[in-house]
């Protein structure tokens, strides 16, 4: 049985008759997903936690349990996968409380385990609905949607040359422009290919439109996820520092590497300000001719297909 089919076999009827659409903000790293997360999170009814990244691993771990495994064993496995993840401290949740939620979740499966986690986070923020923002899910749409059928993917696309420049500025970015171009092409093409198969549960948004005139973009997103637009979303920057404080801590990156609290804060310094239009198209002034040619040699066709200017600026 294919892995995705196995995931679908874990998805049982929801604990409640109807689950409202859950927005999942995705995109190639440094495409502006944190900005969009903060805008949605500023809505009085919507809570978007820091990046999760653990959904595919959780679903895989539970899918590998023997068919004879009881729900208590499933609860232990799900709890270990979530609270043992390196990003768990970002959420500010109590592990014991999550365990209690799991004890009262029936039937227990990967789907309802995730719903319990997100609901707990939303309640902590005093909000009734939840979503997610994990750029890495741009390559995991099928797996995430299989285990959380209410997920609606908001794919934020940004000019890849601006993405490359932003990646080069942060510690975890690509060291070579050509590598950044390859990552950008692969991420977007994978998302578009899979997203086309889930209908209205997938939509694309341009970063350039979001920073130029955010209101109509946010209204379109809200309409897709059955959420009334609220003007508070436009004032996201007023509470941005408080919301991002959750992740200001040192974090392991695996294999002995670590990212410091200062580095994590530096990555998102611009989202504490109103939308900055000059961040769109900055490649024209900040990218060297050699860098531009290297990027376009790999990604020129996709840039053109998406309507971005290609060639000498």
Tally of domains within the chain:
2
Q: Taking the chain, what is the end-to-end CA distance rounded to the nearest angstrom?
A: 50
Domain-ending residue, one of 130, 154, 178: 130
Q: Are residues 179 and 55 in the same domain?
A: no
Q: Are residues 79 and 140 in the same domain?
A: no
Label the pairing between strands 257-259 and 251-254: antiparallel
Query: Residue 283 belongs to a domain with what CATH number?
Result: 3.40.50.300
Query: Which long-range contacts (C-beta less than 8 Å, at least 24 apart) are formed by 74-77?
Result: 74/108, 74/109, 74/113, 75/99, 75/102, 75/103, 75/105, 75/108, 75/113
Q: Give the model's confidence band at 37: pLDDT under 50 very low, under 70 low, under 90 confident, else very high.
A: very high
Q: Are residues 55 and 110 in the same domain?
A: yes
Q: Model confidence over 7-16: pLDDT tens digits?
A: 444 444 443 4
Q: Are residues 136 and 126 in the same domain?
A: no
Please report whether residue 7 resides in a domain.
no
d(CA 23, CA 235): 19
Helix, strand or coil, per DSSP, at residue 43: coil
Q: Which domain holds residue 277?
A: 16-43+132-247+257-306
Q: What is the pLDDT of residue 148?
A: 97
According to the per-residue pLDDT averaged within each range, which of 1-5, 147-151, 307-311 is highest?
147-151
Report whether pLDDT(6) > 90.
no
Q: Are residues 174 and 186 in the same domain?
A: yes
Q: Give the model's confidence band at 67: pLDDT under 50 very low, under 70 low, under 90 confident, else very high.
A: confident
Domain-ending residue, one of 79, 102, 130: 130
Q: Are residues 76 and 138 in the same domain?
A: no
Q: Are residues 180 and 220 in the same domain?
A: yes
Report whether pLDDT(3) > 50.
no
Q: Are residues 29 and 104 in the same domain?
A: no
Residues above pLDDT 90, as percent of the chain: 75
Q: Are residues 71 and 138 in the same domain?
A: no
């Amino acid at each position: 049985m294919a892995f995705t089919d196995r995931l679908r076999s874990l998805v049982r009827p929801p604990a409640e008759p109807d689950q409202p659409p859950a927005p999942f903000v995705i995109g190639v790293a440094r495409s502006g997903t944190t900005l969009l997360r903060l805008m949605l999170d500023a809505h009085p009814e919507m809570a978007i936690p820091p990046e999760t990244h653990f959904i595919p691993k959780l679903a895989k771990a539970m899918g590998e349990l023997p068919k004879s495994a009881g729900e208590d064993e499933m609860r232990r496995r799900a709890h270990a996968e979530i609270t043992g993840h390196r990003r768990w401290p970002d959420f500010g949740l109590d592990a014991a409380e999550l365990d209690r939620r799991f004890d009262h979740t029936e039937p227990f499966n990967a789907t309802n385990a995730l719903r319990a986690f997100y609901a707990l986070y939303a309640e902590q923020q005093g909000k009734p609905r939840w979503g997610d923002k994990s750029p890495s899910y741009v390559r995991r749409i099928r797996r995430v949607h299989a285990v959380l059928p209410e997920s609606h993917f908001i794919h934020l696309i940004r000019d890849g040359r601006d993405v490359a420049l932003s990646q080069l500025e942060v510690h975890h970015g690509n060291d070579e422009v050509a590598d950044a171009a390859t990552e950008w092409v692969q991420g977007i093409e994978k998302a578009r290919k899979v997203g086309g198969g889930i209908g209205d549960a997938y939509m694309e948004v341009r970063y350039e439109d979001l920073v130029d005139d955010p209101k109509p973009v946010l209204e379109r997103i809200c309409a897709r996820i059955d959420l009334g637009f609220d003007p508070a979303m436009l004032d996201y920057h007023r509470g941005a520092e408080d919301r991002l404080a959750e992740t200001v801590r040192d974090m392991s990156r695996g294999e002995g590497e670590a990212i410091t609290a200062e580095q994590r804060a530096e990555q998102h310094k611009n989202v504490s300000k109103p939308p900055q239009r000059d961040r769109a198209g900055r490649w024209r002034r900040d990218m060297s001719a050699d860098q531009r040619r290297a990027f376009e040699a790999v990604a020129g066709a996709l840039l053109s297909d998406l309507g971005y200017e290609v060639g000498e600026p």
